[in-house]
Amino acid sequence: MNITQSVSQQIERMRSGKLFSYQDIPSYSEHGDAVVKAISRNAKKLGLVKIKKGLFYKSEIGRFGPMAPKSNDVIEYFTSRKRKTVGYVTGPALYYRWGLTTQIPAEVTIATSTKKREKANLSGLRITTTPARYKVTKNNTQVLQFLDILKNIDRIPDAETQAVSTKLAVRLKGFSPEKISVMEKIAVEAYSERTKALLGSFLETYMNYFSEELKSSLNPTSKYVFNCANKWKNAEKNWRLASSK
């Protein structure tokens, strides 16, 4: 079987709506040029639609012609590689998904371990990728999302900070002690001083847990502005968080 036949068979076995790149074809690593030519020459025959250079999807024919991929298929392409989680939804789209704001985002931002910045516009869905602060795995995705939200907790559009805090607290109470420990470690290694201070005060306020690890990682002379410092437990005393004057 030649490369063209092999590539055609692999694409025919794909489900409709699935996004893929040249690199997703197993033989690409050894026969890159041949794979590119096989796809280019047979794209129409295989029912492929080109999104941008090197990125395609297998179309499905509906009542009114070819159907674009579903939003979840588009997001899955950027968050998963070879059945491994490499990215997660963050930013305004995450705030909306977690019910922290009613503002529907104009685009979906995805933080990825690939460090590659990409953009795609498909079916009215704009996707932008950005490098994640920490290596993304299936097990730490929720922790990273929590930290990303906490980092911007007082800058979420159309949302009161205390209302957001209450909703996050409900979610945090579903975290195991092991997951909270992982969150402390990641915060110390990859997030800003202010985010570490916010996490320390948040844990103390809503979980009645004082984190020595977070406390010892902070610069003892720095202060961090936070508009709800007067409502969080020991925010200024232990975590040097203070409301702006």
Q: How confident is the model at residue 240 (pLDDT cuts 50, 70, 90)?
A: very high
Strands 125-131 and 107-112: parallel
SS3 32: helix
* Residue 30: per-residue pLDDT: 85
Span 162-168, mean pLDDT? 96
Q: How confident is the model at residue 189 (pLDDT cuts 50, 70, 90)?
A: very high
Q: Which of 184, 181, 180, 178 lies closest to 197 in space, CA to CA?
A: 184
User: Domain extents for the chain?
Assistant: 3-68, 72-242
More confident position, 61 or 194? 194
Number of H helices, E strands in the chain: 9, 13
* Residue 121: per-residue pLDDT: 83
* Residue 42: per-residue pLDDT: 86
* Residue 134: per-residue pLDDT: 97
Print the SS3 string covering 172-189.
Answer: HCCCCHHHHHHHHHHHHH
Q: What is the mean pLDDT of the chain?
A: 91
Distance (Å, whole) CA 235 – CA 238 = 6
Is the Cβ–Cβ distance between 171 and 98 less than 8 Å?
A: yes
SS3 21: strand
Of these ranges, 6-15, 54-63, 138-147, the one predicted with the greatest mean pLDDT is 138-147
CB hemisphere CA count around 46 (13 angstroms)? 26
Whole-number CA gyration radius for the chain:
22
Q: Does the pLDDT value for residue 16 go beyond 90?
A: no
Is pTM, for the whole model, over 0.85? yes
* Residue 53: per-residue pLDDT: 85
* Residue 196: per-residue pLDDT: 98
Q: Give every CB contact of residue 133 below 8 A, 6+ residues apart in sequence.
A: 111, 144, 147, 190, 191
Q: Tell me the fold of 3-68.
A: Arc Repressor Mutant, subunit A (1.10.10)
SS3 95: helix
Q: Which of 104, 99, 109 lies closest to 148 in space, CA to CA?
A: 109
* Residue 245: per-residue pLDDT: 55
Cα angle value 155/209/223 (rounded, 5°): 45
Residue-wise pLDDT for 42-51, tens only, equals 888 888 888 8
Q: Which of 187, 190, 221 lies closest to 202 in space, CA to CA?
A: 187
SS3 73: helix
* Residue 14: per-residue pLDDT: 87
* Residue 71: per-residue pLDDT: 85
Residue-wise pLDDT for 115-164, tens only, equals 788 888 876 789 999 999 999 999 999 999 999 999 999 999 999 999 99
* Residue 83: per-residue pLDDT: 84
* Residue 181: per-residue pLDDT: 97
Of 47-51, 94-98, 224-228, which gets the smallest average pLDDT?
47-51
- Which DSSP letter does residue 16 get? T
The structure tokens 């290694």 sit at 189
Q: Which of 73, 235, 95, 80 lies closest to 157 in space, CA to CA?
A: 95
Distance (Å, whole) CA 127 – CA 232 = 35
* Residue 154: per-residue pLDDT: 94
Span 178-195, mean pLDDT? 98
Q: How confident is the model at residue 18 (pLDDT cuts 50, 70, 90)?
A: confident
